[in-house]
A and B are shown apart, each in its own frame.
Chain A
Amino acid sequence: MFTQTKVYHPFVSPFDPCRPLVSKTYATPPHLYLGFQPPNLPQFTPVEAIKHGVLWPALYSPYEGRTDSYKERDRS
């Protein structure tokens, strides 16, 4: 399944003084996949656009804050 959020697994030192994060995430904004923006893309209405921070839904990147990795770590 395609998602804008990517995951990587950093090296974990056995001597890490802190509880390590096993997986970290980062966001890849949609323009990376779009190339040169084609004309006549569907648009948000002005009021929706200002709420989303972008005029074209194709370029909207949701950001749900830092992902659950910290919560997951602290749960386990």
Chain B
Amino acid sequence: MSERHSVDRRYYELLHQLQAIDFVLVELNLYLDTHPDDRNALEQHNHYVQERWKIAQEYESRYGPLTHFGHSYSRFPWQWDDSPWPWQV
């Protein structure tokens, strides 16, 4: 809450892509649990892991950490308590 964060269009674009890819990853994760030998699906899974990483990277460099407990970096001052919070966007 240290400073007001602007939320532009890119914020929503990135969040939307992130949600979509996270969903695909959940689906592929569940699928691979029952089809561990499906090489295509596994490759697709790894492809989306990479995509997710890129998008998360851009999101975090622009708008701050996505997760806490040491899974994301933060700029000074501490960004985790910055709004907007997920239920506000």
Residues of A within 8 A of B (CB): 36-37, 39-40, 46-47, 49-50, 54-56
Contact = CB atoms under 8 A, between A and B. Distances in A.
A39 B21 contact: no
Nearest to A55: B27
Interface of B: 16-17, 19-21, 23-24, 27-28, 31, 34-35, 38, 40-41, 48
Given A39-B38, A47-B17, 18 more contacts: A36-B34, A37-B31, A37-B34, A39-B35, A39-B41, A40-B40, A46-B20, A46-B21, A46-B23, A46-B48, A47-B20, A49-B27, A50-B23, A50-B24, A54-B27, A55-B24, A55-B28, A55-B31
Q: Is the interface of A mostly helix, strand, loop or mixed?
A: loop
Contacts of A54: 27
A50 B48 CA distance: 14
Nearest to B26: A55
Contacts of B20: 46-47, 49-50
Contacts, number: 34
B11 to A, nearest CB: 17
Given A47-B16, A55-B28, A37 B23 contact: no
Contacts of A47: 16-17, 20
A36 B35 CA distance: 10
A36, A40, A49, A54: most-surrounded residue (chain B CB, <10 A): A49
